[in-house]
């Protein structure tokens, strides 16, 4: 279940340049002025009450989805994502991880109504942690989840949007044209003639 669309390009650019991870990677060559404004918004001090609200929604959603409780996770989705989930329950596929520890780390505002929260997940018997970013939007009912982002090594982060239909990462390929197939196919039997009755 890999999807690459989300709010807009600035979110992915922000995740790549600033990231939820403390390591952070350098900005990409395609960074634009929208990155500067998104980064400036993210650097503004975050109200502690807002950070707690984002963290609480993130924690509840991640615990539900990691434990396989899709119904509880669905109650924490944005309105648009909840409509998509109602039409197709496959939108929220449980992650299938055994979790020893889940910590919500850094919380960042991407805009006045969009946020990303760092989630560190540790499986039993493993010292390494998996890092995810829970992506949220502010609605009348509070901070609601609209997607998840995850770093895949040195690649661009994988963004899973619960709101939007999946977009193929590459366009479908055409059949490769083979030489000589444009002409009439050679015959392997005698050409049909006039009907003879014997």
Task: Please provide the CATH number assigned to the domain covering 9-20+35-161.
Answer: 3.10.450.540
Q: What are phi and psi of 116, to 5 degrees?
A: -130, 135
Classify 165 as helix, strand or coil. Answer: coil
CB 6 within 8 A of CB 12: yes
Classify 90 as helix, strand or coil. Answer: helix
Angle at 82 between CA 100 and CA 144, to 5 degrees: 60
Q: What is the DSSP string of 114-135?
A: EEEEEEEEE-TT--SEEEEEEE
Give CA separation, 166 vs 5, 93, 159, in Å.
Answer: 7, 14, 10
Query: Which pTM was predicted?
Result: 0.63
The 10s digit of each residue's pLDDT in 158-184 is: 888 999 876 655 555 555 555 555 555
The 10s digit of each residue's pLDDT in 92-147 is: 876 666 777 889 999 999 999 999 999 998 888 888 888 889 999 999 999 999 99
């Amino acid at each position: 279940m890999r999807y690459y669309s989300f709010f807009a390009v600035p979110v992915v650019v922000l995740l790549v340049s600033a990231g939820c991870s403390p390591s952070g990677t350098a900005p990409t060559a395609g960074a634009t002025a929208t990155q500067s404004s998104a980064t400036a918004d993210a650097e503004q001090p975050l109200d502690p009450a807002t950070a707690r609200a984002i963290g609480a929604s993130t924690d509840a959603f991640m615990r539900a989805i990691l434990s396989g409780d899709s119904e509880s996770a669905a109650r924490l989705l944005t309105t648009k994502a909840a409509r998509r989930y109602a039409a197709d329950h496959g939108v929220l596929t449980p992650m299938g991880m055994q979790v020893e520890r889940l910590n919500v780390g850094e919380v960042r505002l991407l805009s006045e109504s969009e946020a990303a929260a760092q989630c560190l997940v540790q499986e039993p018997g493993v010292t390494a942690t998996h890092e995810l970013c829970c992506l949220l939007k502010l609605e009348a009912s509070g901070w609601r989840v609209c997607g998840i982002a995850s770093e895949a090594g040195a690649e661009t982060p994988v963004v899973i949007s619960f709101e939007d239909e999946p977009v193929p990462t590459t366009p479908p390929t055409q059949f490769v044209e083979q030489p000589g197939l444009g002409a009439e196919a050679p015959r392997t039997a005698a050409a049909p003639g006039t009907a003879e009755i014997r």
